[in-house]
Structure 1
Amino acid sequence: MNKKEAQALCFNHMHRYVSVTMSDGAMFDGIVEHVDEDQLYLAVPVGNVDHEAMRAFAPYPYGGYPYGYPYPYPGYGFPRRRFVRQVLPLAGLLALSLLPYY
């Protein structure tokens, strides 16, 4: 696939969760954030957060929870998933396919 075809393919999948395969065999998955003439910018999820391990960094007296509620408190959800930006060259793009996002 040449660079113009790769750029058009990436534009068609803008803001979608995709799997990208590079010509050297490396695979990345993330959300297509931006495409320019030479590069593809992906927002790659960092990973799942272990909420039990997070509590270990903020221990409460006697091993209990503040106000008698475990984290997250009622009415509050878990923190959002974190993303990092991955910049990939369009010249090395071999394939791009859609993935379901969970």
Structure 2
Amino acid sequence: MSMENYEYYNQHEDTRNLHDKCKKYMYYHVTMTMKDGSSFDGIIENVGMDKVSVLVGEDVMDRESEDEGDIRQYYGGYGRPRRRFRRFRRRDFPLASLAALALLPYVTPYPYYPYYPYPYY
């Protein structure tokens, strides 16, 4: 096997592995890293032979309207605090530009007990 065929085979093997991983993590919240170094999080919606359709999350801040009469003082400043929203947009990415794929870890704020840990009296 020549060196060019070996590199061609390895490149397609990596793409095939990422395709299988994308199929496995479909409808999960994942972190994707592209070959150019950029990374983002999103939900894999559809996997094709050469592209991946992802719902990419973006943060949106609520606009303040100046004509509202609510002038209460809040911690850190005056007026109403700006509210933050999370919006998802559908984007297609070529499978060949994907470098890595990982599940987004969620941290629980407290341990979950399936039973009440204290005795009943």
TM-score in terms of structure 1 length: 0.67
**Does structure 1 residue 86 correspond to structure 2 residue 104?**
no
Residue 81 of structure 1 aligns to a residue whose secondary structure is strand
Pair 1:80–1:23, CA change in 2 (3 A): closer
Return the letter of the residue paired with 1:44: V
| Residues paired across the two proteins, number | 85
> C-alpha deviations, 1:4-63, integer Å up to 9, x for none?
11110001111111111111212121111111000111111121433xxx3417x34xx1
Whichever structure has more strand as a proportion of its residues is 2
Task: Name the SS of the counterpart of 2:26 in structure 1.
Answer: coil
Query: Which amino acid counterpart does residue 21 of structure 1 have in structure 2?
Result: T
Q: Larger Rg: 1 or 2?
A: 2
Paired AA for residue 3 in structure 1? T
Give me the CA root mean square deviation: 2.7
Q: RCO greater where, 1 or 2, for CA within 8 Å and sep 6 or more?
A: 1
1:23-38 to 2 correspondences below 5 Å: 23-38=35-50
Runs of 4+ in 1 over 6 A off after TM superposition: none
Work out the CA distance in 1 between the residues paired with 2:55 and 2:104.
14
Unmatched runs of 5 consecutive residues or more in structure 2: 1-12, 71-82, 108-121
Distance 1:29 1:56, change over 3 A: same
